[in-house]
Amino acid sequence: MAHVPVVPIGNPRESVVDKAEFDRELAGHDPLVRKLEARREEVKAGWGEKYVERVHEKDKLTTRERLERLKDEGTDLFEVGTFVNYGADFNGLRSPAAGVVTAFAKVEGRWCVVIANDNTVASGAWWPNTPEKIERAQEMARRLRLPTLYLVDCSGLYLPEQSKSFAGAKGAGHIFKMNSLLSAEGVPQIAGVFGDCIAGGGYMPIISDRVYMTEQAYMVIAGAALIKGAKSQHITSLDIGGPEVHVHQSGCADERVPDDITLIECLRREVARLPSSGASFYRGGVAPMAPRFSPKELPGLLPVDHRQAYEANEVLARLCDQSLFWEVLPSVGREMICGIGRVGGLYAGFVLNRQGLIDDPEAEGDARPGGILYRQGIAKISAFSRACDSDGIPLIWLQDISGFDIGAEAERHGLLAYGSNLIYTNSTNQTPMFTVLLRKASGAGYYAMAGLPYDPVVQLSTTVSRLSVMEGRTLAIASYNSKLDDNFEIVTTDPKERAQIEKRMAEVEARIEADMDPYVAAEQLDTDEIIRVDELRDWLEVLVEMSYQGVGYRRVKNPRIWTMHDLDVLVNGGRA
Amino acid sequence: MLGCPPVKRFRRLFIANRGEVAARIARTCDALGVTPVFGVSEADREAPYLRGREFVVLGPSRSGESYLAMERIVQAAVQTRCSVVHPGWGFLAENPLFASLCEAHGVTFIGPPPSVMQQLGRKTPAKTAMAAAGLKLIPGSDGVLRDADQASEVAAAIGFPVLLKAESGGGGRGMRVVREAGGVKKAYESAQAESLAAFGDGRLYLEKLIEGGRHIEIQLLADKYGNVVHLGERDCSVQRKHQKLIEESPALVLSEEERQQTLAAAVRATESIGYVGAGTMEFLLDSGDELRFMEMNARLQVEHPVTEMRTGIDLVEAQIRVASGEPLWFTQSDVTLRGHAIECRINAEDPSNGFAPSPGVIEHWSVATADSNVRVDTHVESGYEVPPHYDSLVCKVIAWGEDRDAACDRLSEALQTMRCDGISTTIPMHVSVLASKEFRDNRYDTRAVPGWEV
């Protein structure tokens, strides 16, 4: 039988948790949500009102104003890398969003990657990490073949920090390599130059397929300041590399337009000429439908305290269309849930960790903790991942994992090998993968479930993510192992020594605890974005829709002939 | 009642319903050469319409474990190799989750696409779509209300009396009438609390209360290729507690202009939302004689025989053929609406005792069937025991006549010659209504039953 046998999952909130507990958990998320919103606002403000005014005085729009006009009405921007360089201090200066906005925007019904220099931050200059952030967005575009729009308004490298952004393998120069790779793979790139485009920045529009310039825009290898004689002859950068030169004389740009607003209209018109989205074809006549239970309930069902369990199925029920889901291989590897549901009418694969206690298949009647990978679970998700790749089903990894099982049995079972197999599979998958660090994402578990090192197209952290090689307590135990007994209790009876060990262990724990803050990862591009738990469904709709937009570049098998069905037959004997 | 040659597309059809509608669907299946398979609860195991038929017992009498048990029904349909399911009316007929579940498991669902069904099930999205197609709405809030203050604003703008209604509501719950400005806040809070408790959703919207209106509805039919026709309108204004008792077609209270205008707009609206199958659009005729859209029901309705008697088109046949991917075999100009048809719904209730339910054994059942202008749709026979678990509909008696009076006379005679001994029925009430001056003069509204003191 080649149907996708989804069934209703999940229960109304009232049956899952009572109002008091629900409100309590919601309240637990509240300070983290407020912190996120405050920081988002802070980053969006760039260098502040004064710089916004400076932009307006020149009859130009700010970068964020341009983005508002660029995207389709009634749609939202889905920004990545908001917190790159957050908190970083460059000799007293800040670099909010690393001076560039990278986001998914729907333009003329097509999802695009937009890379827009923030002209309220050092005139759109490139800081340390700016190139990496731009390249990350370009890579997302490359993987999903999304039209890429550059809103260029960039004064070049932020020179005082050039040693960290110029020369490296992923430094500014690599942006142009990415430009080239995008073009080589047939990904449309359209550039709008709204102002400065200096030095290497110039190559970005030139490699793009279409280039527009406003009357205030110029592209130069070096600005007038470095040209001998320019001063006395009153020659400006605009004279050297404005639209007069590049549209007419050099041919480096295609069209000149009077102003920002017109340019944005032109960009939209270009996108409208591109092939429309394949998503509605792949929906197969099934319309997008919301989950039956509101995704806004998720924060109330996901305790902030990572040691507290919850029903993983209830999370899934609030992410899939109509809360319909086909759990694949439910009888084995119960510590993992994997299966297929529709998101916005399009099929996606899900892998998530079951929390709380689960039955131990090796010892009947015994239970063991979920949120950990054991042999069957590893094998199951490995096979599932391979099947999704074979079938071209976008794969969503929802991480809430402490790690692999450890100890004699784990080693004897060869978890190292099964885990390696899983990693090999994820490393060589072609189907789009998306990773969400729902709560804890620890050690090898983070690796096993397609964490960032395995190149998911996008990795999202939530406000309650905890990402590190191990939990603080675990590291403290490891570090002070010689002072502890079998049960990890401090051995010494000397109160002074005990106090000192406790203090030192607490310090180790606190340090790792601080490391786990999602903003630490976000700042250094170790995660793509931090989102609220109640935004997850919106994000997944976008990610999945983008996976089916481009046609002809990746495998998309029709459900009738999915490898997935074979797994079901082999384990369950198939359905009647 | 057949159109073109019998369709052999679906071999086997699963009937996920009971009683009169189950028998009704089976009758058309027989005519089309489709084998019906019945899903029944324990309480209906001995039903007469199952005699010599294939059936699957879904579960105990409690609807939640049988007629509403989605996964069991889909499982039963798959097991019995049915390729299509007819949900009838009520139960799961307008449940988008059930529709999706059927389709996911390879069983075609007779009805509109789940997303369209869901849109129609939510008051505000449905109204938005209808307004865009040119239908008049009942004046009210533009969508869900923000709070009681906004309710007061809207009410002041459209004028009292107003009705606060639950966005996810039905059956009259979460509804409050407000007759003056001072009562808005209290009514809002009360309606919200009731709605939250009953439907888990406390959102409300507001409408002008139209009192003394008439309930007019339009029958629509659409195939999967965008072809939509109307099959005329019905007047269902004889009601008790929002339950229809008598329905007829045409609605003579309408001006020809209002009729034609609304029929055309209804067809446009049905096409614009991508509707497929048989559906009914319900309107309220206000004191200004204007039809105002209330809601669209994405299912076959109980009173469909009234339309069938005037058009000669079998609506269940149309549903099955549309579901099998056939385009409509007739256009609007092929549809002729002849004469007048009236239906009486006969319930197992005692009309002189507050309509108290009267379950029990029908000791003797007989109805005159010689007159081809009288149709009786039923599932009962002598010896049938009316179960207490479900609705109390015993049968429908429909009569056709060249004009309204002729139809009334014929219907009245048929009712008076019927025998349904052993239980109480509402037949005496219907006879009285049909004979009353108010009914014959067509001067009444939904507030009272003409010719009968409720």
* pLDDT tens profile A280-312: 999 999 999 999 999 999 999 999 999 899 999
pLDDT of res. B242: 81
Torsion over CA: B292, B294, B298, B303 (sign)? negative
Structure ipTM? 0.87
Q: What is the mean pLDDT of residues A447-476?
A: 95
Least Cα distance to B176 among B164, B168, B166, B184 occurs for B164
- Catalogue the active-site residues of B: 299
pLDDT of res. B196: 83
Answer whether residue A100 shows pLDDT above 80: yes
Lowest mean pLDDT among A252-261, A481-490, B96-105, B227-236: A481-490
CB contact under 8 A, A3 and B97: no
- For residue B34, give both structure tokens: 């489709």
Angle subtended by helix axes B184-199 and B148-158, to nearest 10: 120
Query: Are residues A61 and A501 in contact, defined by beta-carbon separation less than 8 angstroms?
Result: no
CB contact under 8 A, A5 and B104: yes
Rounded Cα distance between B430 and B444, Å, is 15
pLDDT of res. B171: 63
- State the pTM of this model: 0.92
Q: Whole-number mean pLDDT of chain A?
A: 95
pLDDT in tens, B202-242: 889 999 998 889 999 999 999 999 999 999 999 999 998 88
Which of 524-543 (A) contact B at CB < 8 A?
none
Q: What proportions of chain B, in percent to the nearest 5, are helix, strand and coil?
A: 35, 25, 40
| Residue of B79, B97, B200 with shortest CB distance to A8 | B97
Percent of chain B topping pLDDT 90: 82
Which amino acid, B59?
A: G
Residue of B115, B199, B224, B275 to mutate, interface with A, max A Cβ within 10 Å: B115
The side-by-side arrangement of strands in the sheet containing B277-285 is B291-297, B277-285, B214-222, B228-240, B243-249, B340-347, B393-401, B374-378
Query: How many Å is the Cα radius of gyration of chain A?
Result: 26
What is the band of A204 on the pLDDT scale with cuts at 50, 70, 90?
confident
Q: What is the mean pLDDT of residues A338-365?
A: 94
Query: C-alpha distances in angstroms, B439 versus B413, B426, B435, B443, B444?
Result: 16, 17, 7, 6, 7
Least Cα distance to B94 among B148, B17, B23 occurs for B17
For residue B85, the number of C-alpha atoms closer than 13 Å in the C-beta half-sphere is: 32
pLDDT of res. A49: 95
What is the band of A574 on the pLDDT scale with cuts at 50, 70, 90?
low
B73 near A CB under 8 A: no
Residue B130's H or E segment, with its range, is helix B123-132
Q: Which residues of A touch B200 (CB under 8 A)?
A: 12, 14
Q: Which residues of A touch B106 (CB under 8 A)?
A: 1, 3
- For residue B416, give both structure tokens: 């008076």
Going by the DSSP 8-state scheme, the letter that residue A523 receives in this structure is: H
Q: What is the mean pLDDT of residues B401-427?
A: 96
Q: Which residues of B touch A324 (CB under 8 A)?
A: 97, 100-101, 104
- For residue A547, give both structure tokens: 């996976």
